[in-house]
Structure 1
Amino acid sequence: MRVVTAEEMREIDRKTIASGIPSIELMENAGRAVAKAIKSHYRPLRGKEISIFCGKGNNGGDGLVIARLLAKEKAKIKIFLLTRKKELKKDPKTNLRKALKQKIEVIETDTSQKLKKFRQEIKKSDLIVDAILGTGIKGAPKGLEAKAIKFINSLKKPMVSVDIPSGVEGSTGRVSGEAIRADLTITFGLPKIGLVVYPGAEYVGKLEVAHIGFPKRFLSDKEIKVYLVTKEDISSYLKPRRPDTHKGTYGHLFVIAGSVGMTGAATLTSQAASLCFGALRSGVGLVTLGIPESLNEIMEVKLTEGMTLPLPETKKKTLSLKAKEEILKFSKKADALALGPGLSANKETKQLIRNLIKKISLPMVIDADALNALVGHLSILQSRIQHPGSRIITPHPGEMARLIGKKAKEVQENRIKVAGDFAKKYKVIVVLKGARTVISDPKGNICINPTGNPGMASAGVGDVLTGMIGSFLAQRREPLEAAKMGVYLHGLAGDLAAQEKGEEPLIASDVLEKLPQSFKQVKSNK
């Protein structure tokens, strides 16, 4: 599903009107869609007191249509107009006249004093509709609008927002001041970026997308390159397996991970690759874990479904530069490489990592210590690339900040731009982990993942993701597809685990345990 900025949505609106669909018709359709949703979620409406707060723009005009339609359902409607009637724009003014003709009570609350005067009356509301500000706001609401939003939130009443909760920036999700905390948001045409990324997503409640007459050709414009990953997307990738296949059909993943004291990370990566789906749970046919030789005996016991490759090690029992030739030789037997978790910050091991990324042309996923080894050496990412985007990096915000020489806060404030710019510059796929993980590719496509929860901020959970993405690469899937599948299914498994055990106690093995259910749920598309 495409996701748009406020500016892109305005352009769709402009093109639609230019194509011959009047703006007043779009407003009527928008109001009708919200009224229909309210009827569905809050029935019966007869006798319910509904306060509708309207700003002076088109969002307020939508609110006036909603008032008229809900009044026909015998609800007791009061419109609180946060402006003077004469200051309304053309289409809202037309809908105000219709509301007045229908004998709906319209109260001008264009000053703080007037808002205070009607506080007790507003407190009686069974439902509040927020039609104050639209998607184009930048910065914090000011004056009367800010006071109204703060007051409305204080009432703790059921709340429906029209298009976007007032105070949330449509293009970024930033919340710079007061913002409505909605229970339900009905947005029009396409979701706005600010509704699906944090902090904006926290204010939305349940999000529904209403179609109000925008032509499909405008909604599917190829210039719109931000997408929300959906269950339907992932389900379409999970095709039934042919009965005449074997383990060689499903690829061989070579994992380079682990050092003494970090065996947990290496184990979880291999389990993610071998235990996710089907016979080996992730769907990959074979997994080989390359590890420091002193860990081999331990890993052979732990990894009953995987194979191990003992490799030369340093005195600190991390991978040595002497392992390079053996790794390069073995990589010719593999279909993909997963590199990084638990490798340590050892100077010699970092040099080995950089050499491997330079020399190996396999599709690969690069995570954790392998990412840290690239700090100050990013040009290595562009070496030996057979196909741009065949390398996937999976940084959390701190790792990304180190890679680009910024602070984690700067990364978090510009997640889509940071991920997109990096992917284009270095011709890689970026999986920028965090709440609403951002996936970007060298062509400028951006995917926002809706699954996952705060309980997944736990040691080892990211290593599971690395193994999953690596396994999909080994199955010869397109790299962007592999990244989307890994992130979505991993997040869904975390959500299923949290439903059962709660977020606080969640650990990586809980996510692994729920991966089969995650796959099953997506395949059934329920």
Structure 2
Amino acid sequence: MNTSSTYNVVIFLNSTFYTNSLDQIIEPLISNQSAIVYLFNIHNQEKLDLTHWEKKNNNIKVEEITSQFVPPTLTEETLVIDALFGFELQHPLSGGFAAVARLINSSKSTVVSIGAPSGLFPEDNTTNNLNHIIKANYTILTEEPPLACYFDENQPFLGQWNILPINPKKEEDLVPFTSEEEVIDIIKPRRRFSHKGTYGHGLLVAGSLGMAGACSMAASASLKSGIGLLTIHTPLCNRAIHQVSTPEAMVDCDTNEICFSQLLDTTGYKAVAVGPGLGLAEESATALQHLILQCDELGTPLIIDADGLNILANYPHLYRNIKGAILTPHPVEIERLIGKCNNSYIRLNRAIEFAKKFEVFIILKDAYSFVICPDGSYQLNPTGNEGMATGGSGDVLTGILLALRAQGYSQEECIKLGTYIHGKAGDLAALEVGKIGMTAQDIIKYLPKAWKELSETALKYNGFNLFSNSTN
């Protein structure tokens, strides 16, 4: 018969997925509730003994499904618990299980998935049938999250997810994250007997008419991340703005009033960053090509962001000249370099192949940013929050990277430490001003505090203070 809204809780449980450890998740959800358990035993295995549930709660009914299944009526008041497959599947749901997914998704019930929304693959969902994946409001992961949990397009299936690691993975099976321990090992202490030249001279090529802000934010972030000297190369129209907004920086004006057009000499600079607010003028494209070729010839460390990447995408023959560079694309910018991608998994893997082929370092910016090395290895950055999804946030990151590269950090150290501290400053800003009202300037404001906290942690574990009177 058709089971209507007689039960407050409806559980879809697969006999092959059940373990005793699931009890600690499911039992609190059905305590003092009227519940029906649809126990799917399609392969006619020995029936699961769920009498301990029934003994604790007289209002629980267990109905074993071996072939025919009469779907229940799910209402807005029903709590649906999906405990069918977790992340066990490597092929799309089909047949009766696909019908269950469609039933749940068509209802207005609150859905809690245990392990994973049934039907979702742990990594690559390119070949999956997205219509046959259960859309959960909440997901309780029973092990550390696989890669799929960190992709934007999978969030409508996962809903709000939390981890109860009752089935811990081996370390080699975990998604790699940059750890705080790794980051504090990277930090270089400042020496007592040092001067501004000790910490490098960086060149920031940025800005165009109406886009002085991007340049200004990158410059401010660089100055608040330890760089010794900073020169801004920007169109003449932005000169007065930068003399006021970043008085610590030197301003080298382009011969063009409104855009980057000058063929620059990068001799003497420890690092160059190009792109924030640059614009797409034809003169800028010509000047950028020259800049890339010169940095390649002189071996000058190069960071390319924003419009620098957009221009670069139009000149693929230059990809061979950016060996060792750091690229900082968001999803749309990376696809201009690697082609249109149907999902985040494809985008990540093509970005990795691009990094390997052209020997570049990539920060693939997103809610969870991936830092990618030319050997194909990658890590996710654990810091940051949704308040940082605001104009100028990427410019701040570029400024941080320029400062670190000018100070002599390697590319790998730079992308890990730079991305981590960028997110940490954003987290500190969120604590103070919240996420909705956060701006890129708030991230800049909290950079010194982020560096201070990280240095204090380094002192605790490594025995030095980033801002101490170290003589080393």
User: Do both proteins adopt the same fold according to a TM-score greater than 0.5, normalized to the shorter chain?
Assistant: yes
**How many angstroms apart in 2 are the aligned matches of 1:299 and 1:268?**
10
Query: Which residue of structure 2 lines up, in the alignment, with residue 108 of structure 1?
Result: 64
Q: Aligned partners of 1:306, 1:209: CA distance in 2, in Å? A: 49
Q: Is 1:210–2:165 an aligned residue pair?
A: yes
Q: Which amino acid aligns with 1:319?
A: F
SS at match of 2:121: coil
1:336 touches 1:362 (CA, 8 Å); kept in 2? yes
Alignment deviations for residues 265-322 of structure 1 (CA, whole Å, 9 cap, x no partner): 21111011112xxxxxx122222112234533442222112222234x23x53233xx
Residues 269 and 124 of structure 1: CA distance in aligned 2, closer, same or farther (over 3 Å): closer
- After TM superposition, list the pairs within 5 Å mapping 1:212-291 onto structure 2: 212=167, 219-220=171-172, 227-238=176-187, 240-275=189-224, 282-291=225-234
Question: Equivalent of 1:465, from 397, 404, 408?
Answer: 397
What amino acid maps onto 2:327 in structure 1?
Answer: I
Secondary structure of 2:379's partner? strand
User: CA, structure 1 residues 100+384, in 2 after alignment: closer, same or farther (shift >3 Å)?
Assistant: closer
Cα separation, partners in 2 of 1:285 and 1:115, compared to 1, 3 Å: same
Relative to structure 1, the CA distance from residue 139 to residue 521 in structure 2 (aligned partners, 3 Å threshold; closer, same or farther) is farther
Work out whether 1:349 is the aligned partner of 2:284: yes
Residues 132 and 145 in structure 1, CA contact (< 8 A), matched pair in contact too:
no
Name the CA distance, whole Å, in 2 between partners of 1:213 and 1:143: 29
Q: Does residue 311 of structure 2 align to residue 373 of structure 1?
A: yes
Q: Secondary structure at the match of 1:259?
A: coil
One-letter code aligned to 1:199:
E
Q: How far does residue 391 in structure 1 lie from its aligned partner after superposition?
A: 0.5
Q: CA deviation at 1:52?
A: 5.0
Contact (CA 8 Å) 1:173, 1:193: kept in 2 or not?
Answer: no
Q: Which amino acid aligns with 1:263?
A: A
Structure 2 segments unaligned to the other structure (5+ residues): 1-7, 56-60, 461-472
Q: What amino acid is the match of 1:66?
A: L
Counterpart in 2 of 1:25? none
CA contact (8 A) 1:341 1:370 kept: yes
Overall identity of the aligned pairs, in % = 29
Q: Specify the SS of the correspondent of 2:446.
A: helix
CA distance in 1, matches of 2:316, 2:54: 67
8 Å Cα contact 1:351-1:373 kept in structure 2? no
Residue 302 of structure 1: which of 233, 245, 248 is its match?
A: 245
Equivalent of 2:259, from 305, 313, 318? 318
**Equivalences for 1:490-501 in 2 at 5 Å?**
490-501=422-433
Match 2:330 to one of 350, 375, 396: 396
Matched, 1:193 2:147: yes
Using the TM superposition, give the Cα deviation of residue 381 of structure 1 relative to its aligned residue in structure 2, in angstroms: 3.1
User: CA 1:240 to 1:54, structure 2 compared with 1: closer, same or farther past 3 Å?
Assistant: farther
1:337 aligns with 2:286: no
The alpha carbon displacement at 1:110 in A equals 6.1
- Contact 2:208 2:279 (8 Å CA) reproduced: yes
Superposition deviation, residue 204 in structure 1: 5.5
CA shift for structure 1 position 115? 4.2
User: 1:132: how far off?
Assistant: 1.2
The residue number in structure 1 matching 2:18 is 61
User: How far apart, CA to CA, are the structure 2 residues paired with 1:69 and 1:411?
Assistant: 32
Residue 484 of structure 1 aligns to a residue in which SS?
helix
SS in 1 for 2:152: coil
Q: Which residue number in structure 2 is paired with residue 436 of structure 1?
A: 368
Name the SS of the counterpart of 1:353 in structure 2: helix
Question: Which SS does the other structure have where 1:370 is aligned?
Answer: helix
Letter in 2 for 1:200: N
Which amino acid counterpart does residue 172 of structure 1 have in structure 2?
Answer: D
Which one of the candidate residues 107, 131, 134 is aligned to 2:86?
A: 134
Q: How far apart, in 2, do the equivalents of 1:472 and 1:333 lie?
A: 16
DSSP 3-state at the match of 1:431: strand
Q: Distance in 1 between matches of 2:208 and 2:28?
A: 70
Q: Decide which of 404, 423, 446 is 1:514's aligned counterpart.
A: 446
In structure 2, distance between residues paired with 1:73 and 1:402: 47
Report what 1:156 is aligned to: 110
C-alpha deviations, 1:414-442, integer Å up to 9, x for none?
22112112111221112222332232221
Considering only aligned residues, what root-mean-square deviation do their CA atoms show, in Å? 3.7
Give, in whole Å, the separation in 1 of the partners of 2:159 and 2:453: 25
Compute the displacement of 1:51 (Å). 6.4
Question: Secondary structure of the residue that 1:372 maps to in structure 2?
Answer: helix
Distance in 1 separating the partners of 2:455 and 2:30: 44
Matched letter for residue 383 of structure 1? N
Cα separation, partners in 2 of 1:84 and 1:269, compared to 1, 3 Å: same
Contact 2:199 2:406 in 1 (8 A): yes
Distance of 2:24 and 2:425 partners within structure 1: 44
User: What is the rounded CA distance, in whole Å, between the counterparts of 2:277 and 2:166 in structure 1?
Assistant: 48
Deviations 1:156-197 (A, max 9, x none): 37x3622x2323321136781343425452333x43101222
- Whose helix fraction is larger, Structure 1's or Structure 2's? 1
Residue 420 of structure 1: aligned partner = 352
| SS class of match (2:277) | coil
Structure 2 CA distance for partners of 1:68 and 1:79, relative to 1, 3 Å: farther
Q: TM-score, normalised by structure 1?
A: 0.71
Q: TM-score, structure 2 length as denominator? A: 0.78
Q: Which amino acid aligns with 1:257?
A: A
